[in-house]
Amino acid sequence: MDQSQVLEGFAPPAYFFSAELDCQHHPDAGPLPRSKKFQLPELSKLYNEASFALVGMGWQSQGLMWRFEVAVENGVTVAYPEIRQGDSIELFIDTRDLKTARTTHRFCHHFFFLPEAVEGLFCGEISRFRTEDSHPLCKSEEIEYRVEPVATGYVADIMIPKECLVGFDPSECNRIGFSYRVNRSKGTSQQFAFSSELTALERHPYLWTTLHLRNG
- pTM (predicted TM-score): 0.90
With respect to residue 13, please indicate whether it lies within any of the assigned structural domains: no
In a domain, 66, yes or no: yes
Ranges assigned E (strand) in 44-183: 53-60, 63-71, 88-94, 108-118, 121-125, 144-150, 153-161, 175-183
Strand partners, 181: 90, 191
Domain that holds residue 163: 18-27+34-214
In the chain, the number of structural domains is 1
Q: How confident is the model at residue 42 (pLDDT cuts 50, 70, 90)?
A: confident
pLDDT digits (tens, 9 = 90+) for 7-20: 344 344 544 456 79
Strands (E), 162-197: 175-183, 190-192
- Which pLDDT belongs to residue 46? 77
Q: What is the CATH number of the domain that holds 142?
A: 2.60.40.1190
At position 141, the amino acid (one-letter code) is E
pLDDT at res. 144: 98
Q: Is the pLDDT of residue 5 over 50?
A: no
d(CA 196, CA 181): 9
Query: How far is residue 37 from each of residues 1, 32, 40, 48, 214, measured CA to CA in Å?
Result: 51, 11, 9, 25, 11
